[in-house]
Amino acid sequence: MIIGLDVGGTHADVVLLGDSGLVREIKVPTDQENLFKTVLAGLEAIIAGIDPHQIRRIVLSTTLTTNAIAQKKLPPVGMIVSSGPGVDPDFYRTNLHYYAVAGSIDHRGREVAPISENEVQKVADGFKTEGIRNVGIVGKFSVRNPRHEIQIHRILKDHFERLFMGHQVSGNLNFSRRVATTYLNAAVYPIHRSFFDAVNKSLFQKGLDVPLYILKADGGTMNLEASMEFPGQTILSGPAASVMGAVGFAPIDTDAMVMDIGGTTTDMAIIRNRIPLLHPIGVRLGGFRTLIRSLETRSIGIGGDSSVTVSDGELIIGPEREGPAMAFGGSKPTPTDALLVLGEMTGGDREAAFRGMTAVAQDLGLSVEDAARRVIDHACHRILSEARELIDRINNRPVYTVQDLQQGDKVNPKVFLILGGPAPYFARRIESFSGCRAQLVPRWQVANAVGAALARTTCEVMVFADTQLGVIRAPEENYSEMVDQDFSGHDAIDLAYRLLKVKALQMGAPDEDLEMEVLEDLQFNMVRGFLTTGKNLRVKVQIKPGLISDYERWTAQIS
């Protein structure tokens, strides 16, 4: 059996998947001040009366690190960046204790200027005086050659609790994002560590000595050990959980769009042939642009509890949620009140819902029913127009080869997969307005927790070879070797796959989930003075995002 738990803003959804599919589903209220209590309450409730030995794995998705970043409640971190020439590194300052030091590496990984041991030592002394325990070390082009980061690490390593190096958080280029990503990893580390140490201990005490996985923003999972290495990857796992919940029910051979209609927002993502689309660079959160892998999502401030107002005869829905619907004790009319007025939804105080809609109707000069219809129609139109924006954004993304420009196939979703609280009430309208099939994700209220439960372990590996310099490197994997002129693109892919397999297994993937693919395979002849003097190879591979290999055992029984 598998447990999936996804902590949301108002409640945590927990599911237990077993031989008969969805064995149990539970919602517990979220205590924002004590997420540990929330998680534990959810887990206790879901395993009540179940033999712990039957549990095969537990997957958690929490808002712990996301909230810490969004609310700027981060502990002090020391940052040492070495940039060399280019954009002034002061522009990339992440926090108070941020120091730019000497040292420069170029785009091929060659040293241009060395670091100064003295200078680094002085910065380190300053950090110690300030009582800083965790440090981030980032160099420009460190993903081409991590030497300077490693040298700085060597100087610092005996004096701090935990050091994060830029070349290990991502293999992708982008110095400013590497700085931000390394900072966030270092900053959330102590929060993540104490939380999950506590969770793990409690589970152990309850006899649940089973693999514990954490959901990431890319919709994949990692085991607890890996999450201590890359705690930053746990941010924004919530939207990913919902998308993964829809994956198992998406069409096999076409594009689908997921719409998670919540209380405050509607989050959208694309699934192609049951594989969710990833963002090409990384997550943005709390003013930080990062290299943290994530799904490509778009969010709009329209949900079941969005406040509905009329301004100069114009209907405005959202983007704020000012408490629950009037039918449930709120003070502002909402789409949920409109659904109650129309009799499409039941429950709550229908009188209060009518009161709210009457005010809207007066301002619009419509009958109460017509106003309610307008509210829901308007919300659906807005969501659809945002969906088109997402599709345009993906389809208009620049490409860099003639072939991609000519043959790049466009995203064209034919199906909407809808989940979240008010899903069924919106689905029918979205279908009729768009002309595309709108399909409810089975058990749409807890599909997010099902998604977490079934998500497979994912990761990526970048390999970079320069046969003119005679090197091949995968700095993220601590890999560096000499190569000769004959080293080929095939050799690079073979190596990348080998490294990927090792990494995935370490992060907790079972053998049967290693569905690998090549994301990027670029090969350039290096021409110097009308002679080919070497090859420049860049290969990027990944474990495809998706569900664990036997997911259909469960999804087939969920309807």
Positions in the binding site for other proteins (CB under 8 A): 84-93, 96, 99-101, 104, 106-108, 112, 119, 122-123, 140-141, 173-177, 289, 396-403, 405-406, 522, 524-527, 529-532, 536
State in angstroms the smallest separation of the CB of 166 from other proteins: 11
> Would you say 92 or 196 has its CB closer to other proteins?
92
> Would you say 32 or 116 has its CB closer to other proteins?
116
Residue 228 is inside which H or E element, if any? Answer: helix 224-229
List phi, psi (to 5°) of 450: -65, -40
State in angstroms the smallest separation of the CB of 91 from other proteins: 4
Residues 276, 243 contacting (CB under 8 angstroms): yes
d(CA 182, CA 230) in angstroms, rounded, equals 9
d(CA 307, CA 56) in angstroms, rounded, equals 43
Tokens of 476: 């993220």
> Would you say 520 or 552 has its CB closer to other proteins?
520
DSSP letter for 456, please: P
> Would you say 112 or 502 has its CB closer to other proteins?
112
> Would you say 453 or 537 has its CB closer to other proteins?
537
> Would you say 97 or 355 has its CB closer to other proteins?
97
Residues 35, 4 contacting (CB under 8 angstroms): no
State in angstroms the smallest separation of the CB of 109 from other proteins: 10
Q: How does DSSP assign 469-531, residue by residue? A: TTEEEEGGGTEEEE--TT--HHHHHHHHHHHHHHHHHHTT--GGG--EEEEEEEEEEEEETTE
d(CA 227, CA 266) in angstroms, rounded, equals 28
Q: How does DSSP assign 240-255, residue by residue? A: HHHHHHHHTTS-SSSE
What is Dmax (Cα atoms) for the chain? 82
> Would you say 174 or 223 has its CB closer to other proteins?
174
Residue 383 is inside which H or E element, if any? Answer: helix 368-395
d(CA 346, CA 334) in angstroms, rounded, equals 15
State in angstroms the smallest separation of the CB of 540 from other proteins: 13
* Cis peptide bond upstream of 29, omega within 30: no
> Would you say 124 or 375 has its CB closer to other proteins?
124
> Would you say 80 or 375 has its CB closer to other proteins?
80
> Would you say 316 or 399 has its CB closer to other proteins?
399
For CA atoms 307, 310, 314, 315, the dihedral sign is positive
Residue 213 is inside which H or E element, if any? Answer: strand 212-215
Residues 376, 364 contacting (CB under 8 angstroms): no
> Would you say 99 or 416 has its CB closer to other proteins?
99
216 CB neighbour count, 10 Å cutoff: 31
> Would you say 63 or 467 has its CB closer to other proteins?
467
Q: How far is CA 555 from CA 299, 350, 453, 476, in A?
A: 26, 36, 11, 35
Tokens of 426: 């919106």
d(CA 322, CA 270) in angstroms, rounded, equals 29
Q: How far is CA 261 from CA 25, 206, 353, in A?
A: 19, 35, 20
List phi, psi (to 5°) of 179: -60, -50
State in angstroms the smallest separation of the CB of 524 from other proteins: 4
3-state helix, strand, coil in the chain (%, to 5): 40, 25, 35
> Would you say 131 or 398 has its CB closer to other proteins?
398
In the block, residue with structure tokens 């971190």: 77
